Structure 1
């Protein structure tokens, strides 16, 4: 390439020496329509003749190089190739080395047909997400179906002082490619030019029988390369049931060494922070509260609701937190800033706490990853109070309650910012309260039913429902309840397609009380229902109430081979009363059936009281949450949920129709059943 163009965010240049480069004749020679290529294209795949990817890391920069040639046989791929968007971070440059097409066997340079625009990538700035990222928009005119696109480019990120963490530590995860593509030749290279060794760990690769191979762990010293290469390559992973193979690369270290390093950074902040000095008005408010429970709740909610959360991507990429005095003065900060301020406040009121590093998005993989501070993307607080540990996310809003009644955060792995600690696993948990506590009264006289539901929501349920009621139209809320009850009362079985507003007459829903100390929200739903019975194809009538939200279909349908089942259900309690002025079958099997399940991971009871004109079912469900169900226990766990689904999640009454002939019919049916 003779002409070179350089701007702040992109450049048109030759590739770096370490990347190498293919000459035009080499590229044309590499485009071979082999039997493998023909087979992939005949099956409707687009085909990549070759892909050469390189990750190059030093203590001053990270670079990604790619050279590939692939077909544009599908209109969707042609559209994506014609308009590409690349987001670059601060101090990152997108380098274009070659854009060409092979058309009728001729290599055509498309750089003259290329237009580039640089746009701000600030789509979410109004939501408190700040970033100096730029979006590079590349438009290539006159690409045609059945062209072969040759794209050679790089991304070069030079570290600034703000990237001190990435200067010191390397972290990169290679994931096997999408299984849509077929590759004639696939090559990935990791080049370590750092002063420190980089360890790598190969995970979830499989043998010819599909069994996961034991992880491979090794290291790369400065100047060494790791190469993964395959010919006639298709990723055979069953993406619905298996984890894609991946390789984790990280600067060789231990969790204890990393916790020592990060603890020192945070301790410098805590050693100089004085709440009395920078927040005397807040200290005055805290001192005016005599009850310690109330003081703790005030401290948490002050930081959550009064300090505006700003996710500054450039700041988050480092790990040095903002001074709490600045956070307090500006009333804004990222997760690190808010968590540090909360800890300073908790230190002042005498509540033990610490800052912890987490990554909710890849929490499952933390047990497999190599030790690295760059595996974390979020900071929260761990609070030790009255012999229990609680986790609080200072970036959340509209969360309420005493510490034991606040919303529960689901995750397993975290690194506490204290010296000499390993990666820790959070303990499993049982709710000390029922997240849903519901009482239902469905009474039918003649052909009219009156339905009343009183429900108390606690913990996460109370917090989320407050937000829902706050931001949702009242009519939409009522429709949501009506739609749920349409299935609960089994009206979907005999009047599907009917407008639910016509079924649930005079439906109303109101908040009865909202206790933000106990974090309890109570609501009442009422409706009048004409034709309240479900009628089957034989004109038999039933009064039914089976709440499908009690069923845990995710358990019964679970099929993943590699992921363990993540148990995170709420505790629930129901008292359901059904009454009618008709005679009912008090001996019907499912009407009187009860259940009592004591699985190691949940308990479930369904107790009943049946009378001649109705019945009551009492359901209690208490799960052990925030854990993965061991593979050897899962089928028994699944079986227990099948028992719940076998008519043990509600109550159904069989109506005995009046009249002598109906009584004979009923007696005959019962005798020969």
Structure 2
């Protein structure tokens, strides 16, 4: 083997006693081509003869052991097996117990053909993400198609003082295996060697008819094991529409117990460090700001933009926040550090605030998990101001506005760092402002159209658009708008393949205003269009403007048996005016059609004004967001979105061509339509 010196990140040795020991003879005996195996291989499915996985936890370490044997019948599978990578945390050791192949009935040791390199896993360090993780690159020479690869390895994370939370609490989520694989034998074992009792909760398991069973909660005392074992197994989960069954293992605690555990850790920091002690210059700036609303805005934006965000993966394993004086002095810190500093500043100006624990990535699942501090991976600040509740992520940058005008963070579950707290759910939210307010005007004279768009963005939209205009080339921005309008004006159906720059002549886009208090970003677009009419195959002319962003395709297409639909759309308002010097059909069904939709989750209204040479439609869309729509109410919700899509998301006008014959043809068509 090409590794004369062993280093601390990996070892080659026998498994620990708790993992067991399997001999070569037992291995060969387990790799048998049963009728089930032959059927799967004949169908071209990758096949795993056996998978034996064990998770071991104690108050000193967490360890995971895997032994498996699988086919290399596909070139892609062979390629992935030949070169693989394992990422280990600080003080975590990857141990190789066996690398072998079964080739033509002969077991061959491949450890002498294995090359191992240890690399730093710091590919994002320039972005403020610091980690002591190591990447172990494993290259196995001379693997061949139709080999059976046997891998036996484990990883052990020994706890340091920094891992005080992992010493105290255990959390592990087992998820049923990928349904791509077929398994001759599948086994998972959880071993509790902790002094504390561990609870485990089985969720999204199903009966024979595929119905989700009620969650089950059981317990493991020290020395006890939980085992799942299956033979001739293919996971039957419909991955596109069902949640994979999972089991959450966690040290048994209530949310109140966990809340009271963590509160003293934060209180110790807050009680010992006031802003007057370490930031006199910042206090001078705060005192110079007039009005509490403006002081609050200044405080949030100071921490977001002047304190550099460093994600230290090792520090995030615990919950001891950095002292605010250190964060202020160094002008950097992780999410805990930035939130603690922000709360200290808000305490000084007299604004009620608290630190809350969240996990945006697994927010949906937290309600199913057992209570555990290890379910959270992020910290934000909750602010109570003028009778309203706001949440601020101190780690983001380039967000602006007084507190009521700032962007909204979408998540549902959180644990507040206060005594005797339980897991809380946020209330649904209705925007106090319009996220998009757009006026569109297309005026067609002779063979030329003049198009104008004036758009005001607020909240998250303003922040995003401000960043976009700051970081994107002007020509690219104009092309993006032109491309959107190419479809909105229906030119994609009568001049497909035409260079959009030749359609939208003299196109320009400019920032009209950028109000950092109202958090309003306003832009203006103009263009000249030769031949502004859409012409159908029968040479009928139309002026059309349909904004497909108004149609919520994700709501119309959503299909899932287990997940409720997460409602997070923006409030929108549009005024679309189409004018022409031609006579139009003022009674055409879709031109005059209006809509009023009053759904529990959104109100939608379109109103029109029709003249002999044009029309205007006003559209308002006001959703109730940050909530899950129950499945029994979803079909009505979906149907109302279908109504929006039924020509209620824009405006179209039909041109009556001049001339006696055209008028006769038009009247004939209207009469017998």
Whether TM exceeds 0.5 here: the answer is yes
Residue in 1 that maps onto 2:297: 297
Query: For residues 446-485 of structure 1, what are the structure 2 equivalents within 5 Å?
Result: 446-485=446-485
Shift of 1:5: 7.8
Residue in 2 that maps onto 1:330: 330
Cα distance in 2, alignment partners of residues 612 and 508 from structure 1: 30
Residue in 2 that maps onto 1:577: 577
Residue in 2 that maps onto 1:19: 19
Residue in 2 that maps onto 1:538: 538
Residue in 1 that maps onto 2:171: 171
Moved over 3 A (4+): 3-6
Residues 156-196 of structure 1: CA deviation (Å, up to 9, x unaligned): 00000000000000000001111110000000000000000
Conserved 8 A contact 1:5-1:13 = no
Residue in 2 that maps onto 1:652: 652
Residue in 1 that maps onto 2:621: 621
Conserved 8 A contact 1:575-1:618 = yes
Cα distance in 2, alignment partners of residues 138 and 403 from structure 1: 51
Shift of 1:386: 0.2
Cα distance in 2, alignment partners of residues 496 and 634 from structure 1: 37
Cα distance in 2, alignment partners of residues 176 and 501 from structure 1: 52
CA RMSD of aligned residues (A): 1.1
Shift of 1:274: 1.5
Residues 270-305 of structure 1: CA deviation (Å, up to 9, x unaligned): 010111111010011111122110000000000000
Residue in 1 that maps onto 2:553: 553
Cα distance in 1, alignment partners of residues 277 and 367 from structure 2: 42
Conserved 8 A contact 1:347-1:353 = yes
1:249 and 2:249 correspond: yes
Residue in 2 that maps onto 1:589: 589
Residue in 1 that maps onto 2:526: 526
Residue in 1 that maps onto 2:398: 398
Residue in 1 that maps onto 2:85: 85
3-state DSSP of counterpart to 1:578: strand
**Runs of 5+ in structure 1 lacking a partner?**
none
Shift of 1:6: 4.7
Shift of 1:509: 0.4
3-state DSSP of counterpart to 1:464: helix
**Runs of 5+ in structure 2 lacking a partner?**
none
Cα distance in 1, alignment partners of residues 453 and 261 from structure 2: 55
3-state DSSP of counterpart to 2:33: coil
**TM-score normalised by L of structure 2:** 0.99
Conserved 8 A contact 1:4-1:11 = no
Residues 323-379 of structure 1: CA deviation (Å, up to 9, x unaligned): 000000000000000000000000000000000000000000011000000000000
Cα distance in 2, alignment partners of residues 470 and 237 from structure 1: 45
Residues 373-404 of structure 1: CA deviation (Å, up to 9, x unaligned): 00000000000000000000000000000000
Query: For residues 208-223 of structure 1, what are the structure 2 equivalents within 5 Å?
Result: 208-223=208-223
3-state DSSP of counterpart to 2:314: helix
**TM-score normalised by L of structure 1:** 0.99
Residues 2-47 of structure 1: CA deviation (Å, up to 9, x unaligned): x998521000000000000210000001111111111111221110
Cα distance in 2, alignment partners of residues 611 and 637 from structure 1: 34
1:425 and 2:425 correspond: yes
Cα distance in 1, alignment partners of residues 137 and 86 from structure 2: 7
Cα distance in 1, alignment partners of residues 41 and 102 from structure 2: 17
Cα distance in 2, alignment partners of residues 259 and 417 from structure 1: 6
Residue in 2 that maps onto 1:516: 516
3-state DSSP of counterpart to 1:8: coil
Conserved 8 A contact 1:57-1:170 = yes
1:68 and 2:68 correspond: yes
Residue in 1 that maps onto 2:44: 44
1:224 and 2:227 correspond: no
Cα distance in 2, alignment partners of residues 247 and 533 from structure 1: 59
Cα distance in 1, alignment partners of residues 419 and 32 from structure 2: 57
Cα distance in 2, alignment partners of residues 346 and 10 from structure 1: 47
Cα distance in 1, alignment partners of residues 287 and 532 from structure 2: 58
Cα distance in 2, alignment partners of residues 159 and 115 from structure 1: 29
Residue in 2 that maps onto 1:438: 438
Residues 601-660 of structure 1: CA deviation (Å, up to 9, x unaligned): 100000000000000000000000000011111111111111111101111000101111
Shift of 1:216: 1.2
Cα distance in 2, alignment partners of residues 43 and 668 from structure 1: 62
3-state DSSP of counterpart to 1:360: coil
